[in-house]
Structure 1
């Protein structure tokens, strides 16, 4: 994770939910979806993704993001 940000769980935009669903799917090679700056920061502020510290911009789901998607599929 890069910078500490205040977690603000709020209603996510449709674009952020779509991106979260794409990030949760298995990927092979470099087939990672490109996320816009605003969507990435929306997911980081919600606590659903983390960004690697090495500066390469690799995003990964957090447990909170997995729980959000699980709750979404169960309703």
Structure 2
């Protein structure tokens, strides 16, 4: 799964952006069942790149257990 969201803001503009990703339903054996999640968020302010937020998750490389995101 991959996705890209681009923001273009002019002078004085503001944006609040959030992305939510859940690990799946444990009772249905979906816990981190995806192979890869890739997401990009470039934000341009007055035509210039001011923020670039990349995300790459590959659960097969993790030692999954409770609290994985606390490390």
Task: With the length of structure 2 as denominator, give the TM-score of the two structures.
Answer: 0.24
Greater C-alpha Rg: 2
Q: Which structure has greater strand proportion?
A: 2
Q: Which has the higher helix share?
A: 1
